[in-house]
């Protein structure tokens, strides 16, 4: 049986423990929701002050050049690329994940329509369990195009091989499921899509900064993801889009704003996309918010995704073990895969009163979140979560469950 002392010892020997210092976390909180909104890097505050007071306040419009504002989406993309297995000049940080997915999907459909072997393909395959915005964007684009595109939803990974065929234009998968923490085999699924002549788009919202990724090595075609989750870029921070070199010349997208133009300041009435990743951009970006993304990325340069993954698996293993031992008398159901290769950096348990139990946890300083149906979600961020915190969180959960110290009529917040 693991004891709290064992956890203290593991923290003492943890090579990542020093990185917690780089984050500002309130006292009395065990933060297990970095999968939804990452914690604040301390440097974000000084960076924000500098951007607002100096770059904006003092240098004014000159900062587009002197402070590198105009290049920020590409500069941040280049800093993010190593975390996802992208090469230089293959990533930009811009817009939202939903918008980037729209661009990626539109570009992929267009690439297929341009191919003799792809022209008749009208199906976008994805999972019913995908994050809703991904399905909404795919359905919205399909019906708006009004050319017979349809979105086919599969109910399990096992159904994917049969669902992908000669009519499939694009397979669109979220690499780590937001609800269950299930992690796809990127290489196998990409090969499956390619064998059928389809393109594959990966959503890395719950993967980037959480698990090692090798987009180029695994044969992905396009990818998008969030920076405000595991990458700690701040609330509503711009997302990213990855377009590999091999597809850039054929990548065109309908949000053809002036930031994607070959010569934006020529102010020509005709659109001509710039060569390279810049064509994934649309318009003027939120500079203050973009700058915060850099504070998040800097922390990752102090370690490696391999080290982060090793601790992530140790933390999630420990949480599963302790919940199953200490809360064994309660109706908790593990929905996250036990198999390491299939697990992201979160653990989800069902409980018939999941919402109420989570509300009670949050009231006692253990911040996770709740997702329908009946799922309590706990995210583990190795940069700032300790083994002892995992022990303490389970102890508070056990106490709440043993004493039934939760309100089954807890009122739902607008954002859960
Ligand atoms: C969090 C998340 C999003 C969020 O999209 P926004 O456009 O940033 O609101 C999209 N897709 C997935 C899979 C997510 O987990």
Tens digit of each residue's pLDDT (9 = 90 or more) over 252-302: 999 999 999 999 999 999 999 999 999 999 999 999 999 999 999 999 999
Question: Looking at residue 128, what is its pLDDT?
Answer: 98
The whole-chain average pLDDT of the chain stands at 97
Listed in sequence order, the residues at least 6 apart from 186 whose beta carbon sits closer than 8 Å to its beta carbon are 175, 202, 213, 214, 215, 218, 220
Does residue 302 have a cis peptide bond before it, meaning omega lies within 30 degrees of 0?
no
Instruction: Specify whether 229 is catalytic.
Output: yes
Tokens representing 98?
């939903």
Q: Whole-angstrom Cα distance, residue 106 to residue 15?
A: 43
Please give the model's pTM, rounded to 2 decimal places: 0.98
Pocket of ligand 1 (CB under 6 A): 96-98, 131, 133-134, 174, 178, 203, 205-206, 226, 239
What are the CA-CA distances from residue 412 to residues 14, 29, 338, 359 (Å)? 38, 21, 31, 9
Q: How far is the CA of 239 from the centre of ligand 1 (A)?
A: 9
Q: How far is the CA of 325 from the centre of ligand 1 (A)?
A: 34
Q: 229, 311, 343, 398: which is the annotated catalytic residue?
A: 229
The number of the ligand 1 atom at minimal distance from the alpha carbon of 131 is 13
Q: How far is the CA of 229 from the centre of ligand 1 (A)?
A: 9
Going from the first residue of the chain to its last (416 residues), give the mean pLDDT of each consecutive group of 10, the final group possibly shorter. 97 98 97 98 98 98 97 98 98 98 98 91 98 98 97 97 98 98 98 98 98 98 98 98 98 98 96 98 98 98 98 98 98 98 98 97 97 96 98 98 94 80
Q: Which residue has a Cα nearest atom 14 of ligand 1? A: 205
Q: Whole-angstrom Cα distance, residue 233 to residue 238?
A: 8
Instruction: Specify whether 377 is catalytic.
Output: yes
Q: 23, 131, 149, 230: which is the annotated catalytic residue?
A: 131
């Amino acid at each position: 049986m693991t004891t709290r002392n064992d956890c203290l010892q593991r923290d003492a020997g943890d090579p990542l423990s020093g990185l917690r210092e780089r984050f500002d976390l309130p006292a009395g909180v065990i933060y297990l929701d970095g999968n939804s909104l990452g914690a604040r890097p301390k440097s974000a505050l000084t960076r924000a002050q500098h951007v607002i007071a100096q770059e904006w306040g003092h240098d004014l419009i000159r900062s587009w050049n002197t402070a590198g504002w105009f290049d920020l989406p590409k500069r941040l993309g280049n800093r993010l690329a190593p975390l996802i297995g992208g090469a230089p000049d293959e990533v930009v940080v811009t817009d939202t994940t939903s918008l980037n997915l729209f661009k990626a999907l539109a570009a992929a459909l267009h690439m297929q329509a341009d191919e003799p072997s792809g022209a008749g393909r009208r199906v976008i395959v994805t999972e019913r369990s995908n994050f809703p915005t991904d399905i909404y964007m795919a359905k919205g684009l399909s019906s708006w195009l009004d050319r017979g595109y349809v979105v086919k939803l599969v109910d399990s990974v096992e159904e994917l091989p049969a669902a992908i065929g000669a009519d499939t234009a694009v397979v669109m998968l979220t690499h780590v499921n937001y609800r269950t923490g299930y992690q796809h085999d990127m290489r196998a699924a990409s090969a499956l899509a390619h064998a059928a002549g389809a393109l594959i788009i990966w959503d890395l919202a719950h993967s980037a900064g959480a698990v090692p990724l090798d987009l180029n090595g695994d044969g992905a075609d396009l990818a998008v993801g969030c920076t405000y989750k595991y990458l700690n870029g701040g609330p509503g921070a711009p997302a990213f889009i990855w377009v590999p070199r091999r597809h850039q010349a054929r990548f065109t997208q309908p949000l053809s704003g002036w930031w994607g133009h070959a010569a934006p300041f020529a102010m020509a009435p005709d659109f001509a996309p710039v060569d390279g990743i810049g064509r994934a951009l649309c318009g003027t970006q939120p500079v203050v918010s973009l700058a915060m993304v850099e504070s998040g990325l800097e922390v990752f340069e102090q370690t490696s995704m391999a080290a982060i993954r090793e601790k992530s698996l140790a933390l999630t293993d420990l949480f599963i073990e302790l919940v199953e031992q200490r809360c064994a008398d309660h109706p908790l159901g593990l929905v996250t895969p036990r198999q390491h290769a299939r697990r992201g950096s979160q653990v989800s348990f069902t409980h018939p009163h999941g919402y109420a139990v989570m509300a009670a946890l949050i009231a006692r300083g253990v911040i996770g979140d709740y997702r329908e149906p009946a799922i309590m979600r706990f995210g583990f961020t190795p940069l700032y979560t300790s083994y002892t915190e995992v022990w303490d969180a389970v102890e508070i959960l056990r106490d709440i469950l043993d004493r039934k110290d939760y309100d089954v009529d807890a009122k739902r917040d607008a954002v859960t």
